[in-house]
Amino acid sequence: MQEIGHWVNGKMVAGTSGRFADVFNPHTGEVQAKVALATQAELDQAVADAAKAQVAWGATNPQKRGRVMMALVGLINRDMEKLAEVLSREHGKTIPDAKGDIQRGLEVIEFCIGAPQLLKGEFTDSAGPGIDMYSMRQPLGVVAGITPFNFPAMIPLWKMGPALACGNAMILKPSERAPSVPLMLAALCKEAGLPDGVLQVINGDKESVDAILDNETIQAVGFVGSTPIAHYIYSRGTAAGKRVQCFGGAKNHMIIMPDADLDQAADALVGAGYGAAGERCMAISVAVPVGEETANKLIEKLVPRIEKLKVGPYTGGADIDYGPVVTAAAKENILRLVETGVEQGATLVVDGRDFTLQGYENGFYVGPHLFDHVTPDMDIYKKEIFGPVLSTVRAQSYEEALKLAMDHEYGNGTAIFTRDGDTARDFAARVNVGMIGINVPIPVPLAYHTFGGWKKSAFGDLNQHGPDAFRFYTRTKTITSRWPSGIKEGASLNFKMMD
Ligand code: NAD
């Protein structure tokens, strides 16, 4: 059995804890590897080494750091096929979807090539007599990234790119359910010219996360994962005086107005609801048609599209729409929630409960489900299911639909499908959600904008990637300088204005 260790000081090292987690092949249900779970001592040593390496890296000029990012882009593109294959085999998503996962991470690395521009700082000439004032952005030192299973390439790249481009060293703690791609990315960073020790990938579970939170050298923590863990890490990390941003779960609503193009809306819902087996934080999991007629027509259009979906392994060819979910536990959780939906009175219009795939009976496949007549008090509405399950909540008016999205505890993304500009504009202005799509079902902002939810979908002030990432991973220092060859003011005990 393959044992996956850690990436420390520029090479793979075996774990010493004697503790391991199973890494599954979700397509077959087999354990394909064991990943080492780090101890506090292993984590602390990796941090100490990272702190030493960071000194020279932080002093490296930003254009040289940008060049490492540029080389990394080329190397990831070179290894795209290999990375996608490993990603699909551990995660379960299809190869085209795995390439999308890598691509959206790569775009953030492309953005980070612009580190010199993004780190330029500010300057005021002659802020007072003979006085200049300037601000610079300096790296924090050693920072940590803790990432989820569902984007094993994209989210580690979102963390490491900006952190490293800003001159920090990073401890990356990827999901123990999909650890291989982050390790491959670390090896590519070395090949791209990143000095040893500047990026350490430490595999682990709660023990290593707690070790990160307790380590006094680590200045900042960027987390992505489920809301309860996000809240835990935010509370404990900030109490320890760290800078922390935590992105959590989601329940993304898509509102379908009576004037919407219903074919377009149905296609969008199928892609956004069932792509990656629903294991996306930006998946649409709630459809809100406005008016009974819209709802009836929408369901009529959705059912044949959903019944046509092809579920299968990533090796099954280009017509596979989505693969298995990540673990048997994830599958059980999804099916349990589907049962509660039925028990609590929702109408199960497409029932995927008996789905099995011939030849892959032990794989973690879940058939597609569509619920109608879901109400806000039901568990399937309140909880994040993170599976191929779309719930339809019928609203009688735009205001009622808007209120649903606003009252939900999550606020990651939301979409509206309409041809009416006034309604779309009103929705974008009023809804209390971080990322909005107008006739776009998965409004994931591009690398040069920022990504982040509201309400219980995110804790902390700044978003991921884009300019916010460069703010998160740097500290501002402001310098006031005077070279007064001819100015003699004498001593003053007053708190003076510069005029
Ligand atoms: P998760 O919360 O189970 O795990 C995330 C990370 O936290 C992993 O590295 C894991 O090892 C660690 N962890 C797990 N349990 C822990 C504990 N008790 N104490 C400390 N650390 C712990 O999340 P997941 O299942 O890997 O990912 C899916 C979740 O992530 C979904 O809720 C999804 O919506 C969310 N997500 C959010 C975004 C976003 O940007 N908002 C993006 C992707 C995924």
Total domains, the chain: 2
* Backbone phi and psi for residue 371, each to the nearest 5 degrees, phi listed first: -105, 145
Asked whether residue 498 is domain-assigned, the answer is no
Query: Partners of 410 in the beta sheet?
Result: 455
Query: Partners of 136 in the beta sheet?
Result: 477
List the CATH number of the domain containing 101: 3.40.605.10
My answer on whether 45 and 189 are in the same domain is yes
* Backbone phi and psi for residue 422, each to the nearest 5 degrees, phi listed first: -60, -45
Atom of ligand 1 nearest to the CA of 233: 20
* Backbone phi and psi for residue 475, each to the nearest 5 degrees, phi listed first: -110, 145
My answer on whether 145 and 278 are in the same domain is no
pLDDT for residue 337: 98
For 65-168, strand residue ranges (E) read 122-128, 131-139, 142-146
My answer on whether 146 and 233 are in the same domain is yes
Question: Could you tell me which residues come within 8 angstroms of residue 415 by beta carbon, excluding any fewer than 6 positions away?
Answer: 252, 253, 254, 255, 268, 272, 284, 436, 437, 438, 439, 440, 441, 442, 443
Asked whether residue 222 is domain-assigned, the answer is yes
CA separation for the pair 226, 398 (Å, rounded): 30
Provide the sign of the torsion angle of the four alpha carbons 137, 142, 143, 149, taken in this order.
positive
pLDDT for residue 487: 65
* Cα 473–chain centre separation: 17
Asked whether residue 199 is domain-assigned, the answer is yes
Asked whether residue 494 is domain-assigned, the answer is no
Helices 80-91, 95-112: crossing angle, 10 deg rounding: 120
Asked whether residue 492 is domain-assigned, the answer is no
My answer on whether 376 and 396 are in the same domain is yes
Locus of tokens 């935010």: 234
My answer on whether 153 and 121 are in the same domain is yes
CA separation for the pair 143, 129 (Å, rounded): 40
My answer on whether 222 and 286 are in the same domain is no
Question: CB atoms < 10 A from the CB of 319, how many?
Answer: 8
Q: 140 CA to middle of ligand 1, Å?
A: 24
Domain termination residue (choose one: 387, 407, 438): 438
Tell me the two tokens of residue 153.
């390439």
Atom of ligand 1 nearest to the CA of 384: 32
My answer on whether 265 and 144 are in the same domain is no
pLDDT for residue 491: 76
Query: Partners of 281 in the beta sheet?
Result: none
pTM of the prediction? 0.97
List the CATH number of the domain containing 337: 3.40.309.10
Q: 91 CA to middle of ligand 1, Å?
A: 14
Q: 223 CA to middle of ligand 1, Å?
A: 8
My answer on whether 138 and 51 are in the same domain is yes
Atom of ligand 1 nearest to the CA of 173: 9
My answer on whether 233 and 359 are in the same domain is no
Q: 449 CA to middle of ligand 1, Å?
A: 23
Asked whether residue 15 is domain-assigned, the answer is yes
What stretches in the chain show pLDDT beneath 50?
none
Residues with CB under 6 A from ligand 1: 146-151, 173, 175-176, 205-206, 209, 224-226, 229, 247-250, 281, 384, 386, 412, 453, 457
Residue nearest to atom 28 of ligand 1 (CA): 225
Q: 240 CA to middle of ligand 1, Å?
A: 21
Asked whether residue 484 is domain-assigned, the answer is no
My answer on whether 263 and 352 are in the same domain is yes
Domain containing 414 equals 252-438
Atom of ligand 1 nearest to the CA of 228: 2
pLDDT for residue 129: 86
Asked whether residue 340 is domain-assigned, the answer is yes
DSSP string, 371-409: EES--TTSHHHHS---SSEEEE--BSSHHHHHHHHHHSS
Active-site residue set = 281
